[in-house]
Amino acid sequence: MSKTNRRKFLQSSTTATVAAGVLRHVASARPIGSNDRIRVGLLGLGGRMAAHVRSLTELAGENVEIVAVCDCNQKKLDRAERIYPELKGKKLARYADMRKMFEDRSIDAISCALGDRWHALSTIWACQAGKHVYVEKPGMHNLFEGRQMVAAARKYGCMVQHGTQNRSSPNIREGIQRLHEGLVGDLYMGRGIDFKIRGNLGRIRPSTPPEGLDWDRWLGPKPMRPYSQFWHRRWYWILELSSGCFANQAVHELDVLRWGLKLDEHPVAVSAIGGKFVHDDDRTCPTHVTITYQFAGGRPLVTYEHRSWYTNGEAGFGDQYPFVQPDFPVGTIFFGEKGFLTFPDYSSYYSFFGRKRKPGPSKSEEGHPMENTPHFRNWIEAIRAGDHRLLHADIEEGHKSTALTLLARTSYQVGRPLRFDPKTERVLGDDEADALLNRPEYRAPYVVPKEV
């Protein structure tokens, strides 16, 4: 693109953005030196934000400061210091509208723990305002959103870290390196599981939104629905709002599988078979599902399985090797010609060899920590360097890993296997499935733009 055409493109993009009432200014991220303070705004004051606050507080000695909070629930804004004790004594700017926080030029970065429905648009808006972003997993709700997030990060020079923190866990990184060095031989298969007990989630019963909650902003890009506690509290199990069990824990495990198997291309075929086999409730995601992925050349074989009720363990997960949630078998298994290697949590690996599964090299941490802080530290280091290649989970990697979950979810939604073109990211011969992934509909003014 010539300089003249590029200038016209940027001017037209800026004009369209302002006309839509999204942001009052569009700017690239400012350079941040090694000794400069990085000022962070918190977006979405829910349960997962507690881990963000703890990690960013631990980085205070590295010149990182929390300076603002934003949520569409006024009661949460008013009680931020009570919800997160680490915030006590801080002079916090408070915003009910994220766009106002993004306009604050004194803020350098955004730590986002909103729900799936908001990840893409909030990240794009933040990048357009020159803010770096740590966005929780799963980063996007469809493939179009993932592409737009990557485009925005690159266009505005923003460091966008995806919340798959295994990528920064020292022991997981060591285990992956061992795999790549051939510890268990040539790899031919990878398997991930998450077996968690999830009870009856209840029914949708419309009611009046609680005082202080802006229900319109909470729903954001999704269609307007009557308020109900089910939608507000159980959104993770409604496929209109999230990818449910296809991405909740699964994106962590599938990301590790991609990493360990060196899968940089999308699969060519995906099949997800499951259903609601226990509990008569209003969730729209399955209680149990089995997923298979086929890649070009037919190797490796990749499978994933989710169960949400009483079950046996597998590979020692959940009993011999506990997860951060006790008694829940969760993890990944890599199968090689000499043996197999497992990752049963966010901070350990174990290897086994031969017919008798003789134990080999391993590494673990007491207490099975989730290793959030190393991931935030990596984000901060990339911000200071101004180089997205330093990110352990750059948004492009997040897009590739989340794509595995989205393809599986879509296969389940349409009730048939999908054939997929990895280059174009289009579903072949299935317009219904392709529309779900590539032609989403949004509710104005919360529209993910085609031009970022």
One digit per residue, pLDDT tens: the chain, 452 residues? Answer: 333 343 333 343 443 343 344 555 678 888 898 889 999 999 999 999 999 999 999 999 999 999 999 999 999 999 999 999 999 999 999 999 999 999 999 999 999 999 999 999 999 999 999 999 999 999 999 999 999 999 999 999 999 999 999 999 999 999 999 999 999 999 999 999 999 999 999 999 999 999 999 999 999 999 999 999 999 999 999 999 999 999 999 999 999 999 999 999 999 999 999 999 999 999 999 999 999 999 999 999 999 999 999 999 999 999 999 999 988 999 999 999 999 999 999 999 999 999 999 999 999 999 889 999 999 999 999 999 999 999 999 999 999 999 999 999 999 999 999 999 999 999 999 999 999 999 999 999 999 999 99
Q: What angle do CA 70, 400, 350 make, to 5 degrees?
A: 95
pLDDT at site 22: 53
Clarify whether residues 136 and 177 are in a common domain.
no
268 within 8 A of 298, measured Cβ to Cβ: no
Q: Count of domains in the chain?
A: 2
Interacting residues of 407 by C-beta distance below 8 A, sequence separation 6+: 266, 267, 270, 293, 418, 420, 437
Clarify whether residues 122 and 258 are in a common domain.
no
pLDDT at site 25: 60
Q: Give me the domain span that covers residue 114.
A: 10-166+373-394
Domain-located, residue 218? yes
Clarify whether residues 153 and 254 are in a common domain.
no
* Pick from 30, 57, 102, 63: nearest CA to 381: 63
Clarify whether residues 150 and 296 are in a common domain.
no
CATH number of the domain that residue 235 is part of? 3.30.360.10
Domain-located, residue 99? yes
Q: Cα(162)–Cα(182) distance, rounded to whole angstroms?
A: 28
Clarify whether residues 161 and 238 are in a common domain.
no
Sheet holding 301-307, edge to edge: 358-363, 349-353, 339-343, 330-336, 187-195, 301-307, 288-294, 269-275, 418-421, 426-427
Clarify whether residues 76 and 176 are in a common domain.
no
pLDDT at site 326: 86
C-alpha distance from residue 308 to each of 147, 245, 418 (Å): 31, 9, 25
Helix (H/G/I), strand (E/B), else coil: 110:
strand
